[in-house]
Structure 1
Amino acid sequence: MSFRIGTVPYLVAKPLSWGLEDHPQVHLVEAPPADLAAGLKSGELDVALASSILALEDPELHLWQEGPVIAGRGPIRSVLLLLRPGLQDPSEIRSWTPDPHSRTGQGMARILLHHHLGIRPQEVPEKPGENPFDSGVDAVQRIGDPALEAVRNRPNWKILDLGETWRDRNRLPFVYAGWIGRKGFEPSACASILRAAAREGLANRDRLVDLGRKERGYSRSFLQRYLFEDLCYQLPAREVRAALQRFRELLTAIGQIPASQTPGSV
């Protein structure tokens, strides 16, 4: 039996997708989170390391709570809201551009702005070919490797780490992504493959750090902390449920998902 598995093209996914491209039972697809979501909903993918919000928006997409996840207990440095030079506080934001590739990151930013700060700044969609940092908005939201690049390339922009703001206001870990199955498919059906990939990935930390240095140009100390101290790849299932439940409550409070939604994963 073979499985169509999706993953994101970001460093954070490498420890969980180690060796999958060479596995004889796996057809691996690497794509941005939004494309993985489309693949799960269309049935083109069986399972994907995808944004956790998918399992909250669609009851037929199940997140494997007992399996490996991409999570954090505080700042993780790659899910950010960046404020233009001159702005010191997010309460001053009047316009912002969400990252089009991750609804989870968008949701975290909206929770901060709408729920915690009580403001609803204008959302300015990112235009093809336009750099949102040059578009005149007050803030830009970024995830993954593009977030790391933004910090390096835009040193004058103030950084808000959305993982840090989540922890400070909710006292819970945050589950950014997990193995999510398409309709009718439980990710645990390929548990042995996915667990083995995570086990091997975490056992090859030095090689992953070297890969990050070669491909992205970051220092060894930065990559070691980012990949293996800031991020968590396994949480107790009860913590996964509690974190997702709180995320759902807040998304409902700001109107991003309907109050009647009853996700199967929580």
Structure 2
Amino acid sequence: MDITEYNRMSWNNQVDSGDQWTQPVDSATIAQARADKWHIVLTPTRPVPRNWFPPNLKDKKVLCLASGGGQQGPILAAAGAKVTVLDNSDKQLDQDRFVAKREQLDIETIKGSMTNLSMLADETFDIIIHPVSNVFIDNVLPVWKEAYRVLKTGGSLLAGFTNPILFLFAEEAVEKGPLEVKYPIPYSDLKHLPSEKLAELQQKKEPLAFGHTLEDQIKGQLDAGFVLSGFYEDQSGYDSQLDSYISVYIATQARKLG
């Protein structure tokens, strides 16, 4: 299976279904951003600390990496940044274009995979925003290497990702219990789901997910050349059994020091 193409189609379907991460921000949110009263998320609920950003975003070049949906990109553009949004989903990019047209924002959109930024020059961006999305690819290491390449020296990569502990359990157990370890890490829907469950997800055009090791998520950034300078955890934001025990989302700030 071509997982990039399958998940592109699936995220187009998520837009049609009204998934929360496909809902464009409203005009009031953009007005607040223009008044320097803004926040964005990398993970489900916790805002990114403002001290992870420069005091003034004016003319800062920001890449929203696998971050379509009309949310982070338009907010940062309204705050003064020069924003490029790259996403694999055509319809997710449509959401950014929709907000840009409605609010008269200048946002560049690029359809492409987070693992291949060959259309972008070295040392182009001051900041890269990469919210939880690498869960939908089978190898995260190219993401960190490409992000390092296109980031300017002194720039920051702000990334959100899933704690792999989430993938130890069947989805229905996470939602309703009991929590019994079922799957190994690294995890793949393609390799580890029962065939009937995988067929059900495909029939519903649901995105397929991968649970990456913390070594790939964190050491992968270090091996690419980054220095970690910020870290926090977050919960799911819905009634998950795991939220009672552990936060299953992670955000990191990593710098390219040269």
In which range does the TM-score fall when normalised by the shorter chain? Answer: 0.3 to 0.5
Structure with larger RCO (C-alpha < 8 A, sep 6+): 1
Question: TM-score normalized by structure 1?
Answer: 0.32
Question: TM-score normalized by structure 2?
Answer: 0.32
Which is helix-richer, 1 or 2?
A: 1
